[in-house]
Amino acid sequence: MRMLVLGLAAAAAAIVPTHGASACPPLPPGYVPPTDEQRLDDFARRSDIIVYGVVTGTARPGERSRLKILHVYKGNVRKGQTILAQTGFDYPVPACAGMMGPPPPKANGTYGVVALRTDAWGLTFIKAKDVQMMIERGLIRSARAR
């Protein structure tokens, strides 16, 4: 079995401060947030890997967890492969996630659709309603489709 190890320590160190912060900074004047559809389109486009998988090894915050891939929607990975990567925040990722400290780890047996960018935090679990929207918008193809 081949294992893919994603080196995200440098990216994590760049976005996780050494001090605690209690709130996000205010948005710039006149800022118009993207719609849910725009945010999801951008997220899916920028994700290097989108898979359905299960956590098979939980790590402490800041360490890598194991995710076994059960289905591949996007990316250069294979079904049955294991990815080692840090757990990220769930989608939609908070705008000021870097100010919040590391995200909590996922427990063994946690499964779902997961996306990740090799230049960002790590495994980002996507809620079922957002997965359905991705399918409806043609961003990924349903695993049930033949």
pLDDT digits (tens, 9 = 90+) for 89-125: 889 877 776 677 778 888 899 999 999 887 776 889 9
- Amino acid type, 106: K
CB under 8 Å to 35, separation ≥6 — which residues?
none
Report pLDDT digits (tens) over 48-60: 999 999 999 987 7
**What does the block give as tokens for 10?**
């440098």
Does the pTM exceed 0.85? no
pLDDT band at 87 (very low <50, low <70, confident <90, very high): confident
Is 2.40.50 the CATH classification of the domain at 3-16+35-136? yes
- Locate the domains of the chain by residue range: 3-16+35-136
